[in-house]
Amino acid sequence: MTQFPEGFLWGGATAANQFEGGYQEGGRGLANVDVVPHGKDRPSIIAGKKKHLNFDEDHYYPAKEGVDFYHHYKEDIALLAEMGFKTFRLSIAWSRIFPKGDETEPNEEGLAFYEDVFRELHKYDIEPLVTITHFDMPIHLIETYGGWRNRKLLTFYERLVRTLFTRYKDLVKYWITFNEINMIMHAPFMGAGLVFEEGENHRQAQYQAVHHELVASALATKIAHEINPDNQVGCMLAAGLYYPASPDPKDVRQAQIDNQGNYFFVDVQSRGYYPNYALKSLEREGIELPIEEGDLDLLAQNTVDFISFSYYSSRVSAHPDNLDKYDQTAGNIFKSIQNPYLEKSEWGWQIDPLGFRTTMNELYDRYQKPLFVVENGLGAKDEVTDDGKIHDDYRIAYLQAHIEALRDTITEDGVPVIGYTSWGCIDLVSASSGEMAKRYGFVYVDRHNDGTGSFERKKKDSFDWYKQVIASNGEDLSWKSRA
């Protein structure tokens, strides 16, 4: 069987707001993610429709401690090294570097923390893959400036990226500017720090914020290449192809529209200009982009080096006239029509390894740039047996099928892929629900939905399986159940 390319970057992915903890330590400031609670209020806050920028006694706030990587990073990185990781994706907590976001000088304790993390990774020859902002923004920038709707955030973001690219010039090569930038339209509070005012045009505010983030991404790409020409900068989207629900031309057209909407922002980051379909759509809605002199040149001259993306499931579209014919299901914020040909996870996410391959082919055909799979995985409830073991054959089966599809995409379709980082390689807090029970990792963390637990780390069966996958460079995906 053909192996993956030599030097393929196997690893795992995390995000500071779900993993890091230490929210009041090392000079870190308060961030939007800190004040999003576990429970019934979480969806409305994530959606940006409810103003909730402080803590109250009636809620549990899981991001405050995450799974405490802040104090366990050496132990965690040693576990990653034991699996043979070639890369580890993590994100920067903006408020750890600039606690309020608009300071002129960075917080040295925060810079030193990430430098220690990067040096610890390099000790084991693990390449850091760093997301600059992963649904993370200092609360002060929301309260004082209104989040990314305000162009002043370009100044603060430029200061952040210059600081990062300069300080970590010889420690980090791979960068991602914004996590899942298309999520702004589904989770504006997390994606852009938007809290809508009464009577405000939500769509205008969202697209205004998007334009500022796109300009910021191009600016970051420009600065990264100036500071170190070896830097590789990527965009990132929540991917997953929309299938038409039927051959009805109206459903086919709706799927095309939904796919275009999903690609819109990455089209700009990868091609360097706003696509005509998007401009016409905005024109019909009466939305005006806040384009200033120099913006379009900056976008055109500073496109990204690679396309990174998350993939958990495919989706299904139907024309509004046909929607009542179908049942709906869940999937990474994106709602979808149920696909009768697919199984679903415990959380209703449709499992589609072949859709993974189709999505990658679609992305490469569209952009002709190398791909980087930076999130893929199965959220499931893991049980610890009486002898302390975690038998997660279901996770192995999911990852096995998707890695097979990835292999075929590379070897049979000729799509260039830099690496693969499974999501939540060490258990972390679910972004959508704030749960710990929804686990993704190869390493179990003793932490629970109510905030109890010791933070003890335990290897799951999938730990040894993934170690085997990496050691064989993807050639040996076999597994004999230990349950």
Query: Which residue numbers are catalytic?
Result: 375
Cα 376 from Cα 400, distance rounded (Å): 11
Q: What is the CB neighbour count within 10 angstroms for residue 163?
A: 18
Of the candidates 220, 161, 205, 187, the one whose C-alpha atom is nearest the C-alpha of residue 46 is 187
Q: At what angle do helices 461-471 and 69-83 cross, to 10 degrees?
A: 50
Residue type, 469: V
- Which candidate, 473, 271, 468, places its Cα nearest to that of 369? 271
Distance of alpha carbon 181 from alpha carbon 203, whole angstroms: 15
